[in-house]
Structure formats: structure tokens, C-alpha cells
Amino acid sequence: MTRVAAVDCGTNTIKLLVGSVDGQGLTDIVVRETRMVRLGEGVDRTGRLSEAALERAFAALDEYAALVGAHDVSRIRFCATSATRDAANGAVFAAGVRDRLGVWPEVITGAEEAALAFDGAIRNLRVPPAEPVLVLDIGGGSTELVLGSSGSPEAAHSMDVGSVRLHERHLHSDPPTAAEVAACVADIDAHLDESPVQVDHARAVVGVAGTVLTVVAGALDLPAYDADAIDQSVVPVDRIREVVDRLVAMSVAERLALGYMHPGRADVIDAGALILSRVLARARVDCLVASEADILDGIAWSMVGG
């Protein structure tokens, strides 16, 4: 067994997993943390990471450094995704990571991100899904679509649409107007039209990460976010659509009042939920499978080649 630390740095969140891993699987997870730092705030418009975003990210990484130091970790892998791929000053962030965790962040490609998310999600499932299976990972800056069978991806694509990026681009009112929603949906559909991943070939869809899992929490009528209740739940697509429509129609204040809603996600969940809805509209499935395991688990397994 090797004690490892996996870090996934996206546009909206920085997540940490510390656990023991071998070629057979991930066990003894002692840390699983998420910090909503909005690192990619404004990147779509300015092309740069803002000073405020860097401060938030570095504060989270200081906390993570303390957690890693307390658990006798032998290997760390830090994967940075959409926001740092797009930022002109990404080197400033990279140096800050190195100072705090002792490793340089790997700015992984969209294809690498998709493969890690697929691996993490599929290995976690107690009941194997019908194949081919589509793994859907909606992030703040990008959305990963990965179609595969027999535990490995066959087609993957990273679309430059995510909850933060699309909310900043289209959904300016609170709640968004019908015209804003229509523009956002058109943007999502245009990206799906160009995607090489044939969503309609999927016989099962597994959704991972915060946007999907938050919508699932709403679909399950949870009074508070409950990872055990959400993980591996199977939710009818019609129920998902109902929740998406309700969330999009709400004001930010109304979303904040939902017991399962993370405060750092309330303002951008409208765009992320619309991405989920549009993907499911193209998939020929009746239900969505939710998985708490995601790219973090894939990053952890990758460190032992399992």
C-alpha cells in the first residue's frame, strides 16, 4: 500500500484526496476535501487569473499542505485543469503550488482529464453499468464527455463549457431571463454538435462532480447534502429535468436556502444544470447514475499504475 495525495484543481474548486492505494484499488481514504475558490473567475473574459482568485486558491492550498503533512504521504500528484490551461499568468499559480506542496502542478490536457475522470467513476461502481457508458464531468470551465466499455475510454472530448464559464457568458440576471437561458442552451448545443463523442450511443450515463451531484441531491429531496445517499443512486432523467428547471428559475437567494446547496455553487448552478439537461436530452437513457468517486480517484490510482 502506498499513501498518496491527489489534488484536482479546476475552475471553481480545488479538491484533495489522501488515501492508500495499490494496483487493486483505493482504500482507507482519510481525507476528501473540497474548497470552492473560483480560481477561474473572469478568465473567460480577461485571459488571466485574478489576484483575488490566486489569494483564495493559495489559502486553500495552505490548508491542504497541513493535511498532507499530517498523513505521511509518500507521493503527491497535482493536476490543474481548465482555468490554468487558459490563463496567461498560470506560471504564478504553478510557483505558488510548488512553494506549498513541493510539487509542480501538471496542466493536463482535456483528453487526460477525461480519462482520469472515467477511471475514477467506473472503478467505484458496485453494479457495472450497461455499455457503452458515458461518464459526464461538468466543471467550472469545461465539461468532459467520455464514452467507453470494459473499463476503458473509447472516445473522449473536453468541451469549453462549464458552470462558471457559461454563467459569466450568458446568465447575467437573477434569476436568468428566458432569453439568457435560450442563449446558454444554444451555446451548449453548439458544443455538443461539434463533439466527436456520440452521446446518443450511450446505454448508461454516470455523472460525477459537484454540479451533477448537487442536482441529484435535489432530485432525491435531501434536506442536506449526503454523500452516502447520493453515491451510486439511480435517478430517472425526467426527475433530473424537473430539478434543473426549478433551479434555473430560482434566484441565487432561493438556491442558497436549499439545504443541499453549497454556497459557492449557488450562483453558477444554473449554467451547470443546463449542461446536464442538454447532455441527457441527447442520451438514450432513462436514468442517471451518480458517483461520488471522480477524477480525484483516477489521479490517485494513476500514481501506482493501477
Domain 2-108 has CATH 1.10.1740.10: no
Quickly list DSSP for the chain: -EEEEEEEE-SSEEEEEEEEEETTEEEEEEEEEEEE--TTTTHHHHSS--HHHHHHHHHHHHHHHHHHHTTT-SEEEEEE-HHHHH-TTHHHHHHHHHHHHSSPPEE--HHHHHHHHHHHHHHH-SSPPPSSEEEEEE-SS-EEEEEEETTEEEEEEEES--HHHHHHHH--SSSPPHHHHHHHHHHHHHHHHH-SS-GGG-SEEEEEHHHHHHHHHHHTT-SS--HHHHTT-EEEHHHHHHHHHHHHHS-HHHHHTSTT--TTTTTTHHHHHHHHHHHHHHS--SEEEEES--HHHHHHHHTTT-
Please give the model's pTM, rounded to 2 decimal places.
Answer: 0.81
Domain ranges of the chain: 2-108, 126-291
pLDDT by 10s per residue, the chain, length 306: 789 999 999 877 899 999 987 766 666 788 999 898 888 888 778 888 899 999 999 999 999 999 999 998 989 999 987 667 678 888 899 999 999 999 999 988 777 877 888 888 888 788 888 999 999 989 887 888 999 987 778 888 888 888 888 998 999 999 999 999 999 999 999 999 999 999 999 999 999 988 999 999 999 999 999 999 999 999 999 999 999 999 999 999 999 999 999 998 899 999 999 999 999 999 989 999 999 888 898 898 888 764
Considering the segment(s) 126-291 as one domain, its CATH architecture is 2-Layer Sandwich (3.30)
